[in-house]
A and B are shown apart, each in its own frame.
Chain A
Amino acid sequence: MGLNIFFISGQKLRRSLAALAVSGLAACGGTPSGDGINDPFEAANRKVHGFNKGVDRALVGPASKGYGIVPPPLKRAVGNVADTLDIPGDIANNLLQLRLVAAAENTLRLGVNLTFGLAGTLDVSSELGLEGRPTDFGETLHVWGVGEGPYLELPLAGPSTVRDTVGTVVDVALNPVRLALPEKEAMAATALKLFSRLGDRDRFSDTVDSLLYESADSYAQARLLYLQNRRFELGKRVGAAEGASDDGFIDPYADAPSDDDFIDPYEDPYAQ
């Protein structure tokens, strides 16, 4: 049973996170205090992170290195087919989100890749500038007004939140491709997705390795990365004037300790 393998990712970071998801993460250490982090299950999450990290070290990391030997065009084809298999689920979610333009774009993408893209092995759409709008049921819940809930790290599936976990379960259970395909083909599709994820783990091994094995607290880093990137992904599609948000702003000048020796030579005594 593919746990989180239907989890869709488009951008590099989401890919890296998805790669982390097959492998998972963890550590033990102090309590990082951060803004906007809701993690009441931290102790349990950290245990899962330790388990996931062990799985990555022993199995997923080495397996992805092995898969890395596969010729790049074949790996790309596997990745493209896996992505194409995700599109029907994306379209279903686009419709549930009432995002008709995105649904139309994904439908066009599916059609182009299945025909000109030789049954999805080539990503012709992206070359045409049709990058696709990957989505998931977690985003659908977000559009419906469901808050993200506490942070969760899932065994094998990696960083998530309560809302996104529900989303993942729904996406896997109701995946149109899996429901439409006979059992054997559905298994093949699942296997393909697993290989695609191994490919991601290998492609982004620098990012994943530095996060998992080089950071002082890989659990806290993975949590921060997941939450920030997920909020960014969900926020940017709301359609508000792009980027005008102040979300990522940290004012490093505000917490500067007052410096008694400092005299501002530009201060204008006459200015009101």
Chain B
Amino acid sequence: MPNDLTLSRRAFAAGVAAAAVLATLPRPALALTAEGAKGLVDKTVADINSIINSGKSEGAMLRDFEKLFTRYADVPTIARSVLGTAARSASKGQLSAYTRAFQGYISRKYGRRFREFQGGKIDVADARAVKSYYEVISIARLQGESPFEVRWHVSDKSGKSLFFNIIIEGVNMLASERTEMGALLDQRGGDLDRLIADLDSL
């Protein structure tokens, strides 16, 4: 009897160890969960709120937004996706110069609009796995407005859990910026170097 007990205890311990090893094997160590995705958006929203209410000058706020953007968003992936097919023919140097310019451009563009969130708040409601990514649903409540929905798409494919798209009432940031970047590139006759130079002043 006691023997049986020891045996089964040992078997149990081995089973636990095996389960622990198995659990780590098929996935990367830092697999993203719905909770993790939600946590990322929670932190992003908290940081946005503290920047908006910091009382800093607009220039300082925009710099803070750029930092926030690089911390929580997958900027290189967003930048490349927004550039579309032109990204494929770009050299490595062009791509990194473009990514740097894009980062400033997108931070200024959206940072300016975040002013409208002053006095309002964003509540993170829910997160779910959709195919290869997580969708986090939040509700923005601005002063004097009906609440509206903001969705965040989060992935860890870059190696870190970062968001790669924001969808406001169905309007998709990646799609909208692709249209914009395509038009900007067309205006410059497809010249990526000119686009990179001009992005700094847009």
B-binding residues in A (CB < 8 A): 10-14, 29-30, 32-35, 76, 126, 131, 206-207, 210, 215-217, 220-221, 224-225, 228-233, 235, 243-244, 246-253, 255-257, 266, 268, 270-271
Contact = CB atoms under 8 A, between A and B. Distances in A.
B94 interface: no
A231 B170 contact: yes
A253 B157 contact: yes
Contacts of B70: none
Contacts of B184: 216
Contact of B187 (A216, A225, A247): A216
A253 B183 contact: no
A229 B146 contact: no
7 contacts: A29-B187, A34-B178, A220-B183, A221-B176, A224-B171, A249-B131, A271-B25
Contacts of A131: 146
Nearest to A204: B116
Most chain B C-beta atoms within 10 Å of own C-beta, residue among A126, A243, A250, A256: A250
Interface size class of B (residues with CB under 8 A): 35 or more
A271 B26 CA distance: 7
B151 A256 contact: no
Contacts of A217: 179-180, 182-183
Interface in B133-175: 133, 135, 137, 142, 144-146, 148, 151, 153, 155, 157, 164-165, 167-172, 174-175
B176 A224 contact: yes
B179 A220 contact: yes
Contacts of A207: 113
A215 B183 contact: yes
B82 to A, nearest CB: 8
A70 B37 CA distance: 44
Given A233-B169, A252-B80, 19 more contacts: A10-B146, A12-B142, A12-B146, A12-B169, A30-B186, A33-B182, A34-B175, A215-B180, A215-B183, A216-B187, A224-B179, A228-B175, A243-B137, A250-B174, A252-B77, A252-B81, A253-B77, A253-B155, A255-B81
B45 interface: no
A225 B176 contact: yes
Interface in B51-109: 74, 77-78, 80-81, 84, 87-88
B26 A268 contact: yes
Contacts of A248: 151, 153, 165, 167, 170, 172
A266 B81 contact: no
B78 A252 contact: yes
Given A248-B167, A252-B78, A29 B186 contact: yes
A127 to B, nearest CB: 12
Given A216-B187, A232-B170, A12 B148 contact: yes
Contacts of B176: 221, 224-225
Contacts of B74: 252
Is chain A's interface secondary structure helix, strand, loop, or mixed overall?
loop
Majority secondary structure of chain B interface residues (helix, strand, loop or mixed): mixed
Contacts of B132: 251, 253
A250 B172 contact: yes
Contacts of B26: 268, 271
Most central of B128, B145, B184 by chain A CB within 10 Å:
B145
Contacts of A12: 142, 145-146, 148, 169
A13 B171 CA distance: 9
B29 interface: yes
Contacts of B142: 12
A243 B164 contact: no
A225 B183 contact: no
A250 B151 CA distance: 13
A247 B29 CA distance: 30
B1 interface: no
B74 to A, nearest CB: 8
Contacts of A29: 183, 186-187
Contacts of B130: 244, 246, 249
A32 B179 contact: yes
A247 B132 CA distance: 14
A249 B116 contact: no
B2 interface: no
